[in-house]
Amino acid sequence: MHVLVTGAKGQLGRALRRQLEEGLAPRGWEGALVDWADLDELDVSCSEAVDAWFAAHGPYDVVFNCAAMTNVDGCETNFDLAFAANALAPLYLARACAACGATLVHVSTDYVFPGTDPRPRSEDDVPRPISAYGRSKLAGEGLARSANPKTHVVRTAWLYGEGRNFVATMLRLAQNHDQVTVVNDQLGNPTCADDLAHELLRIAQTTSYGIWHCTNEGTCSWADLAEEAFRLAQVGCKVVRCTSEEWKQMTPGAASRPAYSSLENAHLSATIGNGMRSWQEALRDYLNRQQEQRG
């Protein structure tokens, strides 16, 4: 099997590498030949670069698109860049995949939903993003699926893994602060990159193309997540809870976020089985692994 992973140096790209190179992947991935490409090697927002890469390195059986512009606030101020990275890039990859018969696994986001209805959203619910980031990602979903019928769009949420993420930021701030202010009225599903990577590999083995939701189980607020991370890491830092409105007053340039963006893994449950564990269990294992790596 010949595989391409874009965004290889990001949190999810690193998690996929760990799955595939450390014997953690599901059955069927043994001996896969994987090309790892990040922005410095392949600019997926350039159609000529994508075509040249596929001509030189392809054909592929599966392509995992983990590349994206995930700076939610930055997308508001530079929508052209966000649209190129989050909408045009999956289109170009989908076209290249279609030309060689490859399956595309494209990662999307819970931010395609407005978060106005306090119930977990299934894959059948109608998206209506309220941020530039969400709009660019939703466009990418549609463009990818229109260009290649063998496309899995996998929405996830609140991702953390190796690299910059909310959990790592909270623990870093806790080293020098007695308290941190965290939003308490935005609810969603914290998701471990390792868990998501494993499910992406399972999804890629199916022909049930379309939209998938894939998050760790359970819903919490950003403040809840920070408090649980501090508790598990045995950090004596207090979480001061605030509202989204109060946070906007403190950071006027912040983009609007969904108030309730929890996802339901309905497609997984109805097909190959929902293998995603609780967010608390996943967070505990993630922090334990971080501690082991630090020695």
Domain residue ranges in the chain: 2-163+191-218+261-277
How far is the C-alpha of 167 from the C-alpha of 158, rounded, in Å? Answer: 10
Encoding tokens for residue 252? 């006027």
Q: Which of 60, 111, 133, 160 is catalytic?
A: 133
Band (pLDDT 50/70/90 cuts) for residue 49 is very high
Mean pLDDT of 32-56: 97
Mean pLDDT of 21-37: 96
Q: Is 286 a catalytic residue?
A: no
Band (pLDDT 50/70/90 cuts) for residue 295 is confident
The half-sphere exposure of 73 on its side-chain side, counting CA atoms within 13 A, is: 5
The half-sphere exposure of 70 on its side-chain side, counting CA atoms within 13 A, is: 19
Residue pair 261/157 in contact by the 8 Å Cβ criterion: yes
CATH placement of domain 2-163+191-218+261-277: 3.40.50.720
Residues above pLDDT 90, as percent of the chain: 95
Pairing of strands 2-6, 210-213: unpaired
pLDDT tops 80 at residue 107:
yes
